[in-house]
Chain A
Amino acid sequence: MRDLLDKRLVVVIGKGGVGKSTVSAALGLTAARAGRRTIIAEVAGRTDVPRILGAAPAPAGGEHRLAPGLDHISIDDRHALAEYLHEHLPFGALAGLLQRSELFTLFTAATPGMRELLSIGKVWELTRGRPGSGGRRRRRRHDLVVLDAPATANGLALLAAPRTFAAAAGVGPVARQGEAIRATLCDPAQTGILVVATPEEMAVSEAAALRGDLRGELGRDVDRALLNALLPARFSAADDAALDAAPDDPAVWSARWLRTRGRAQRAQQARLRRAYRSVPCTSLPFLFAAGPAGVDVERLSHVLERAR
């Protein structure tokens, strides 16, 4: 995972319910332990990562500490818009006026790609740091931003927003900034893309299609594919006859369940590997035992740390 930790931005994306927030949290812990000052960003006002790490959900818009060296921010487009207006309009009063205008809010919502652009714009700002006062240089407070992206289609819309928007606008400060954001997302040296799937048919199909979609939207490839919640392979083909002939016992049912499920999962793992030929594929184990706050994220972060 070292390659990903050296980027400025890592986008975690995949089908709904595959554990993107869990993986983002684990990756955040790994990065923080490696000494990278890290912030995990969620959009659309979501606060799944703090919940997974057993922290109180924080209000949208602000940065909050989750662990040593690990912060979190929940971005929503309303806050992002307000912040943008205050930073880019010459008079604070004008920004306030626009922000309170119901029509302006409506127009912003109706402008194609605008909401996504505001959110990804805020993420991009995090990778750049805030402008210093009195014309001093920008100071980055985080070395790495992990974006816990929304599920596949909405996640893609988020990454494609700068381009969609530039096509609609062409001129103006937002379009100019959109171009800079797009350049950052397309540059593999600055931005890493981690596609997450579970070893299930639909999740793998979505992950496979995503590679082509990302090529189309950003003209670049995925850095890593990650298979989450993979069951252990504990029984070989040689055990089959014995398991099938075994007496009817609840323990034998459990073993047959794991065997059949595990094999179906390995078939999906092979599908994912075929779809992501030439891209490193990592697996996270299915955890039978829960951690203090549900999934044991700490343990997963150590698996990521060891992953080549």
Chain B
Amino acid sequence: MSTLGERLRERRVIICAGAGGVGKTTVSAAIALHLAREGRRVAVVTIDPARRLAESLGLERLGNEPQRVDPGRLALGGRGELWAMMLDAKRTFDELIGQLAPDARTRDEILANRIYRNLSEAIAGSQEYTAIAKLYDLTHDARFDAIVLDTPPSRNALDFLDAPGRLTAFLDGRAMRLFLAPAGIARVGAAGTSVALGGLRRLTGVDLLEDLSAFFRAIADLTDGFRRRSAAVDRLLADPATTFLVVTSPEHGAADEAIFFAARLRRAGLPFGALIVNRVHPLDPLERDRHETAARLEGALGRSLARRVARTHAQVQQLARRDAASIARLARELGERDPVCVPDFEVDVHDLEALAAVEARLFAAP
């Protein structure tokens, strides 16, 4: 039996993963808040927070750099600092090209290329890839001793682990090597290539030859950099100071994704930190039937209201029983004895007070 606080004590990189719509952003922010209260200097990277939550963190502006949350708003202990940023996928990818390009001319050539602009979204899976790129940069930033990453709201949580591999696979692929072979672009005249390009032109009317040659020539200088970076990211993700928190709601679809994701982490040898189940409806072990509930409350509430309250409670208990079954299944499938459960609060979490309530539940003793 260990609390979430104990599990995160030695961790510097905390990655919250799970399906979209389960409250990952809220959980990430609450964890960051807690670590800052413990005196750590924390940066939380979110993708698309609700407007009011962003405002409460002082994130009105969409910047691609962490901004410090006003310490006056937080009750932080000692040297604790909380920083937050919203990820701008396109800018992060452009910055990465800037870091890896040998010179400014190559960088500008790539950034202006039509193929690059399309590929940066299509193949890299943009948000997934750039979230990891940003995480890597921040771990080398001396201002922070802990980074909390809220992964992109993708419907498929696995995209997040696949994205870096997809990009390197593309760069290492046969098609790429064809272009990068010593004969290089001259080989575009070779039979297969000209059929392919000719076929495409005939169908679409788009002549890509010029764009493609320019793109491949420019990106060739960066492939080693991409490969080295990808290897460094793999090491970072597998580092003992990194941990993956699987966040889910009790809903069936989200729970399915959490199970797949945890299995995937295990296969990849990546460190699983904890299972967090958000938006749980609390179970009332004493509830038996609505008539009994109504009778119990009739004196205090009057007959009509007591009946409506009893009906509501019976329905909420239906959800609670479904949630309990789902949590039991998650715990079994993930081999996790102590899932961390956060109740479904009455109101959406959009201010620091509500965030502190989530924090309290996350870090409570089991």
Tell me whether A and B are bound partners. yes
Choice from B199, B308, B318, B346 contacting A289 with Cβ under 8 Å: B318
Q: Does A261 contact B (CB under 8 A)?
A: yes
Chain B residues within 8 Å of A249, by CB: 296-297
Taken together as a complex, chains A and B put the C-alpha atoms of A185 and B202 apart, in Å, by 25
Taken together as a complex, chains A and B put the C-alpha atoms of A251 and B293 apart, in Å, by 7
Q: What is the minimal beta-carbon distance from A287 to any residue of chain B, in angstroms?
A: 10
Taken together as a complex, chains A and B put the C-alpha atoms of A247 and B302 apart, in Å, by 13
Given contacts A17-B20, A290-B322, 5 further A-B contacts (CB under 8 A): A94-B199, A201-B51, A251-B309, A254-B317, A289-B315
Chain B residues within 8 Å of A98, by CB: 195-196, 199
**Contact B284–A250 (Cβ < 8 Å):** yes
Residues facing B in A239-259 (CB within 8 A) are 239, 242-243, 245-247, 249-258
Residues facing A in B229-276 (CB within 8 A) are 252-253
Binding site for B on A (CB under 8 A): 16-17, 85, 88-89, 94, 97-98, 101-104, 106-112, 114-115, 151, 165, 168-175, 200-202, 205, 234-235, 239, 242-243, 245-247, 249-258, 260-261, 264, 288-290, 294
**Contact B192–A103 (Cβ < 8 Å):** yes
Taken together as a complex, chains A and B put the C-alpha atoms of A88 and B199 apart, in Å, by 11
Taken together as a complex, chains A and B put the C-alpha atoms of A151 and B312 apart, in Å, by 33
| Pairs A–B under 8 Å by Cβ, sample size 7 | A16-B21, A109-B119, A114-B204, A175-B204, A235-B308, A251-B310, A254-B312
Chain B residues within 8 Å of A201, by CB: 50-52, 348, 350
Q: Does B203 contact A (CB under 8 A)?
A: yes
Taken together as a complex, chains A and B put the C-alpha atoms of A156 and B186 apart, in Å, by 39
**Interface of chain A, helix or strand or loop or mixed?**
helix
Q: Does B118 contact A (CB under 8 A)?
A: yes
In the A-B complex, list the 6 residue pairs whose CB atoms are closest, starting with the nearest: A172-B205, A17-B21, A251-B313, A104-B196, A250-B284, A260-B346
**Contact B348–A103 (Cβ < 8 Å):** no
Binding site for A on B (CB under 8 A): 19-21, 48, 50-52, 114-115, 117-119, 122-123, 153-155, 173-175, 178, 192-193, 195-197, 199-206, 208, 212, 252-253, 282, 284, 286-287, 293, 296-297, 300-302, 305, 308-313, 315-319, 322, 344, 346-348, 350
Chain B residues within 8 Å of A252, by CB: 297, 309
Taken together as a complex, chains A and B put the C-alpha atoms of A187 and B311 apart, in Å, by 47
Chain A residues within 8 Å of B300, by CB: 242, 245-247
Taken together as a complex, chains A and B put the C-alpha atoms of A97 and B199 apart, in Å, by 10
Of the candidates A104, A107, A108, A239, the one having the most CB atoms from chain B within 10 angstroms of its own CB is A107
Taken together as a complex, chains A and B put the C-alpha atoms of A200 and B25 apart, in Å, by 15
**Contact B204–A257 (Cβ < 8 Å):** no
**Contact A255–B308 (Cβ < 8 Å):** yes
Chain A residues within 8 Å of B118, by CB: 110-112
With known contacts A111-B204, A290-B322, A294-B252, A106–B175 Cβ distance under 8 A: yes
Chain B: CB-nearest residue to A293: B252
Chain A residues within 8 Å of B322, by CB: 290
Q: What is the minimal beta-carbon distance from A61 to any residue of chain B, in angstroms?
A: 20
Q: What is the minimal beta-carbon distance from A243 to any residue of chain B, in angstroms?
A: 8
Choice from B196, B284, B293 contacting A107 with Cβ under 8 Å: B196
Chain A residues within 8 Å of B302, by CB: 242
Of the candidates B119, B174, B196, B318, the one having the most CB atoms from chain A within 10 angstroms of its own CB is B196
